[in-house]
Structure 1
Amino acid sequence: MPTEAVIAAYYATTYRGACADFYPKDRSRRWRAFWRSLWFIPYVYHRDIVDLGCGGGHMLSALCRFARSGTGVDLSENSIAFARRSFPEQRFFAEDIEAFAKRELRFDFVFSSELLEHLRSPVMFMETLRAITRPNAVVYLSAPDAGHRATPQNLAAWPDICPPEHLQWFNETNLTMLFKQYGFIPLRRHKTTQPAHSVFFRRVG
């Protein structure tokens, strides 16, 4: 398991080669985010939303066509530099989610795509969700699914196991248990052909 310092250095200023005026596959990311955002209209319409692990801000910007306000968070400084320049209508923070939780901001909807597997501890992730969500808030999560039928039986052969990027994995059962421990219940799950979770949770209380 890499240290926090190793992880921070990995993402800080060189991740994916992004910079303020460049992000890999920018055009296709905008297009895919535009169409994908339509799934989320019932959850984000006129609500305050946050994207944890927002990368270059493409999905947040697409969702904010319907939301009341949008905030993005990512450890990658170069990704946030691109997001701030490309999507100035939204606010962005270049920091880890633990630091972001201390800002005492509250949201109605959390979008988190391909972040959980990058963290050293699920506790940090879940405590952040509790800190930043209002009662009845909805969380959308996508992450590798270790229990999916398409996941190799030999996990060592699975490309999604790639430290220092991907550090932890969940199946449907223990992911649901984790969220329930922190007061989030399953709301909706999308079936996927790829070994990935695509699931909504709702905060209770």
Structure 2
Amino acid sequence: MSRDQKYYQLARQASLEIGSHPGLKQLQQIARRSKNILDFGCGEGTRLNTLLGDNQQGHGVDINRFAISSAKKQYPRHHFKRYSGQRLPYQDNTFDLVYSAFVLEHTTDPEVVIKEMIRVTKPNGKLVILCPNFGAPNRRSPNSVKNPITKLITGLIHDFLPPSPEHLPWTFVNPKDTYDQPDDDTTVEPYLLSLKRYLTNQRMLVDTSSSLWSQELTTKNPRKLLFKFLGERSLFPFNFWGPQVFIIATKPADI
């Protein structure tokens, strides 16, 4: 079995059910009442197919040739295209819903990706982003080489004294050569708070932003327990430090 086959087999298994994940449940609700839907980073198509109703047709793009080929074979009622990594192959203002689920952390230019997602979203349409919150001051990706204490202090300072929201101040990391666990192929560390500020700067209206503390794994670490306690009580900035990024934004009619 090739690396691509192994990777997308695991992705398919993980995408067959929505389960109790609050972000995916909300995404499915939005998708079921939307007419034109785009899955950015659709992989082999299972998540798109799972999110939509039996009578819905969706669109998906992915940079991987194997993934798109598999998606077309498995789910012929949907429409799949390969993405070049720059401009999406759609006209402006095409989709009622554009979403990305656990993909942004694997991109090499997240600003280009997000701007393209906004471009193809219709006025009053929805943009939904779900991904790991690796860039939070208390977290790190499997590929991070930063000192955790240094990252915590620097991140805390940036929460209160943020860099310019015109750009995403995210850390890029080197993906591992082998794929032994989820996110070994991470290339960038997204962070909810800076993403919210960036989207607002892009004139998007952020309806929902959550770091999904409910998805935190069980731990006995006192520091992690303290951060979770503070975050679940919506105390700034700890409310942005949960395990995942979940944002729903609306594209205004005038952009």
TM-score range, shorter chain: 0.7 to 0.9
Give the superposition deviation at 1:41: 4.1
Tell me how far apart the structure 2 counterparts of residues 171 and 32 of structure 1 sit (CA, whole Å).
Answer: 26
Q: Deviations over 1:151-175 (max 9, x none)?
A: 15994279x9443743322322211
Tell me how far apart the structure 2 counterparts of residues 143 and 31 of structure 1 sit (CA, whole Å).
Answer: 18
Matched, 1:132 2:120: yes
Whichever of the two has the greater Rg, that structure is 2
Greater Cα shift, 167-176 or 24-33: 24-33
TM-score by length of 2: 0.62
Q: How does 1:14-93 map to 2 (within 5 A)?
A: 16-17=4-5, 23-25=8-10, 28-33=13-18, 38-44=25-31, 45-65=33-53, 68-93=56-81
Give the superposition deviation at 1:72: 0.4
Equivalent residues of 2:104, 2:190 under 8 A apart: no
- Unpaired runs of 5+ residues, structure 2, are 149-171, 177-184, 217-242
Identity across aligned pairs (percent)? Answer: 18
- Unpaired runs of 5+ residues, structure 1, are 1-13
Equivalent residues of 1:46, 1:67 under 8 A apart: no
Tell me how far apart the structure 2 counterparts of residues 104 and 35 of structure 1 sit (CA, whole Å).
Answer: 34
Matched, 1:173 2:170: no
| SS of residue in 2 equivalent to 1:186 | strand
TM-score by length of 1: 0.75
Which amino acid is 2:191 matched to?
A: N
Which amino acid is 1:109 matched to?
A: L
Tell me how far apart the structure 1 counterparts of residues 106 and 68 of structure 2 sit (CA, whole Å).
Answer: 17
Query: Aligned pair in 2 of structure 1 residues 95, 199: CA closer, same or farther (>3 Å)?
Result: same
Tell me how far apart the structure 2 counterparts of residues 119 and 16 of structure 1 sit (CA, whole Å).
Answer: 17
Query: Aligned pair in 2 of structure 1 residues 135, 103: CA closer, same or farther (>3 Å)?
Result: closer
Residue-pair matches, total: 187
Query: Aligned pair in 2 of structure 1 residues 88, 153: CA closer, same or farther (>3 Å)?
Result: closer
Give the superposition deviation at 1:38: 4.3
| SS of residue in 1 equivalent to 2:9 | coil
Tell me how far apart the structure 2 counterparts of residues 96 and 67 of structure 1 sit (CA, whole Å).
Answer: 29
Query: Aligned pair in 2 of structure 1 residues 75, 108: CA closer, same or farther (>3 Å)?
Result: same
Tell me how far apart the structure 2 counterparts of residues 125 and 111 of structure 1 sit (CA, whole Å).
Answer: 11
Give the superposition deviation at 1:80: 0.9
Query: Aligned pair in 2 of structure 1 residues 162, 136: CA closer, same or farther (>3 Å)?
Result: same
Match 2:104 to one of 99, 116, 134:
116
Give the superposition deviation at 1:32: 2.1
Match 1:188 to one of 195, 208, 231:
208
Over the residues paired in the alignment, what is the CA RMSD in angstroms?
A: 3.2
